[in-house]
């Protein structure tokens, strides 16, 4: 099984599937925003960036999967996007759970680096107009950030499985 997992990491298809899944989530976010009229909050925007990191990792891994450096960059973006997104989603659920508290609030303007103000360059995608504490959508009794915990948990678990398989295979040689 370890060999199968390792071979899958070395196959560009696995990386394209990672990128495609993240792209579908980005399109879903835009559908929720523009199709259903749900306004994204700061935490939603940060989660979009985390998904973009996963997508970028998938694209880089697919294009350069034969080169160790590109695979490492792909794995790094995947890991950072998945783990950072998971923390952001958990924090978002905390904000929603404590919506009336003064200690659980979110910013009004995204805290992007000054050299990369995504909310100014691409306001249609990265401008936050919603309230972090508002639950405006749910499915099966779970809010959007709760579902994103599941999504990021899956991305994180898959990263751990595939990266570990690759490392173990390398160490066995």
Residue with tokens 């990386």: 15
CA separation, residue 44 to residues 68, 126, 162 (Å): 33, 9, 27
Task: Establish whether 132 is a catalytic residue.
Answer: yes
- Assess whether 41 carries a catalytic annotation: yes
Given the residues 24, 41, 71, 166, the one annotated as active site: 41
Upper half-sphere CA count for residue 124 (Cβ side, 13 Å): 4
Give the tokens for residue 164.
């570990």
Residues in the chain: 173
Quote the CA–CA distance of 48 and 118 in Å, as a whole number. 11
Please say if 24 is a catalytic residue.
no
- Tell me phi and psi for residue 95, to 5 degrees: -60, -45
The SS3 of residue 113 is coil
Pairing of strands 142-143, 138-139: antiparallel
Q: What angle do CA 22, 61, 68 make, to 5 degrees?
A: 155
Active site residues: 41, 44, 48, 106, 132
């Amino acid at each position: 099984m370890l060999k199968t997992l390792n071979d899958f990491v070395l196959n560009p298809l696995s990386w394209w599937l990672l990128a495609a899944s993240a792209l579908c989530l980005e399109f879903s976010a835009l559908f929720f925003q523009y199709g259903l009229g749900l306004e994204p909050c700061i935490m939603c925007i940060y989660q979009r960036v985390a998904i973009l990191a996963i997508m970028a990792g998938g694209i880089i891994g697919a294009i350069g999967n034969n080169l160790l450096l590109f695979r490492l960059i792909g794995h790094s973006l995947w890991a950072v996007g998945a783990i950072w997104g998971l923390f952001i989603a958990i924090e978002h659920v905390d904000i929603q759970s404590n919506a009336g508290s003064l200690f659980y609030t979110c910013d009004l303007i995204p805290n992007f680096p000054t050299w990369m103000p995504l909310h100014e360059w691409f306001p249609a995608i990265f401008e936050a107009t919603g309230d972090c504490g508002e639950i405006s959508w749910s499915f099966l009794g779970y809010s959007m950030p709760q579902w994103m915990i599941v999504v990021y948990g899956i991305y994180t678990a898959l990263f751990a499985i595939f990266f570990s398989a690759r490392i173990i295979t390398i160490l066995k040689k």
